[in-house]
Amino acid sequence: MLAVKTLRSNLTIFRRAIWLMGNQFEISLVANDPMWAEDRFTNAIAEINRVEKLLSTFGDGSQVNDINRNAGIKPVKVDGEIFRLIDRSLAISRLTYGAFDITYFSADVQNGDSKTSSVITSYSNYQNVVLDPIAMTVFLKDKGMRISFAANSKGYAADRAKYVLQMQGVSSGVINAGGDLLTWGTQPNDAPWTIGTADPEKQTQPFANLNISNLCVASAVNTDKHTPINKKQLANVSAKKGFPVSEIISVSMISPTAELSDALSTPILTIGVNAGLYLINQLNQIACIIIDDHDRIYTSKGINIAD
């Protein structure tokens, strides 16, 4: 027993910050050997880079590009990883009644130099994605229809990096993917991870002491409220009403995976406080914290925040 305590007392948190997938990733590992931790950092980063390449819409070898190029023409056979990710994405679309949607329409436009480029013209419809689980194919029904994993690829990459680290013996750690926090295990002192300990920049948040061990918390912010007006921005817009949502300042979504938290946070931002809480309260192992434009805090069931 004494040996175990001694080993535990030698543990510390090693951190590596790196720019990946257009976001700042910080990987924190609980370990007692810096060289051992360094090898694990390298493998986690390699996995994130693999996911970015896998989900890219560029290059002849991209399966996502192949799906998009054959929209309205024919089904495309894909590997199991891509198929399952699309299947899960469509399930979230159904759950949120289309507020989350990986599909969009694009059109080719002619530039002044006679080159063509593709621009997003409108959102598409997830119901026009046809999956065949036997043939492992994906078919987009309409020409010009496209899919993109921009809304959940960061979370999926964080989940995969966590999996790789756990398979290599990392029993405790945190992955901060652009402010989204994925944790497992405990701190070196055996205390659970909280939002404040996983990300010290959030220690002033009213829910900084919330226990998020073995969970992920992803946040979405109403950019219309927080981005200076002189900066180019893409405001969150209600898909049904067509105007910027102003009632909600931010949503923090808590679930077992970064992919799910990442995918659900923005839809809740767009559908409003009451509808968002009603939806989340129907789900198991998922919770959320909403802050409105009067700094009022709303929580789903199971979350208690001390004043």
Q: How many C-beta neighbours within 10 Å does residue 208 have?
A: 17
Per-residue model confidence (pLDDT) at position 7: 46
Q: 3-state SS string over 71-89?
A: CCCCCEECCHHHHHHHHHH
Give the dihedral sign, CA 193/16/23/145: negative
Per-residue model confidence (pLDDT) at position 270: 87
- Pairing verdict, β 76-77 and 23-31: unpaired
**DSSP letter assigned to residue 11:** -
Over 80: is that where the pLDDT of 171 sits? yes
Give the residue, 144 or 110, on which the prediction is more confident. Answer: 144
Over 90: is that where the pLDDT of 49 sits? yes
Determine the average pLDDT of the residues in 61-89.
Answer: 96
**DSSP letter assigned to residue 247:** S
Over 70: is that where the pLDDT of 178 sits? yes
Per-residue model confidence (pLDDT) at position 294: 86
Per-residue model confidence (pLDDT) at position 205: 83
The type of residue at 103 is: T
Q: Name the CATH superfamily for 2-46+153-299.
A: ApbE-like domains (3.10.520.10)
Q: How far is residue 274's CA from residue 67's CA, in Å, rounded to a whole number?
A: 37
At 95, give phi and psi (nearest 5°). Answer: -60, -40
Q: How far is residue 175's CA from residue 165's CA, in Å, rounded to a whole number?
A: 10
At 41, give phi and psi (nearest 5°). Answer: -60, -45
Per-residue model confidence (pLDDT) at position 4: 38
Lowest mean pLDDT of 6-15, 176-185, 273-282, name the range: 6-15
Distance set, CA 114 to CA 99, 107, 110, 111, 120 (Å): 36, 15, 6, 5, 19
**DSSP letter assigned to residue 97:** T
Q: In what order do the strands lie in the sheet with 129-132?
A: 76-77, 137-140, 129-132
Over 60: is that where the pLDDT of 119 sits? no
Q: How far is residue 189's CA from residue 169's CA, in Å, rounded to a whole number?
A: 18
Q: How far is residue 29's CA from residue 146's CA, in Å, rounded to a whole number?
A: 38
Over 90: is that where the pLDDT of 207 sits? no
Over 50: is that where the pLDDT of 229 sits? no
Q: Quick one: CATH architecture of 63-147?
A: Orthogonal Bundle (1.10)
281-290 pLDDT tens trace: 999 999 999 9
Q: Do the first three CATH levels of 2-46+153-299 and 63-147 match, i.e. the same topology?
A: no
User: For all residues of the chain together, what is the average pLDDT?
Assistant: 86
Q: Considering only CA atoms, which of 180, 185, 186 is closest in space to residue 259?
A: 180
Give bridge partners of residue 104 from the DSSP assignment. Answer: 123, 146
Provide the CA 189 distance to its chain's centre, in angstroms.
29
Token output for 111: 């530039």
Over 70: is that where the pLDDT of 130 sits? yes
Q: How far is residue 304's CA from residue 13's CA, in Å, rounded to a whole number?
A: 28
Q: Considering only CA atoms, which of 154, 156, 138, 137 is closest in space to residue 146?
A: 138
Q: How far is residue 212's CA from residue 194's CA, in Å, rounded to a whole number?
A: 5
Look at the block and give the residue holding tokens 């923005």: 266
Structural element, H or E, at residue 28: strand 23-31
Per-residue model confidence (pLDDT) at position 58: 85
- The packing angle between helices 80-95 and 258-271, to 10°, is 30
Q: How many C-beta neighbours within 10 Å does residue 79 have?
A: 10
Token output for 80: 């199991």
Over 90: is that where the pLDDT of 211 sits? yes
**DSSP letter assigned to residue 191:** P
Per-residue model confidence (pLDDT) at position 117: 53
Q: Quote the percentage of the chain above a pLDDT of 90.
A: 70
Q: Where are the domains of the chain?
A: 2-46+153-299, 63-147
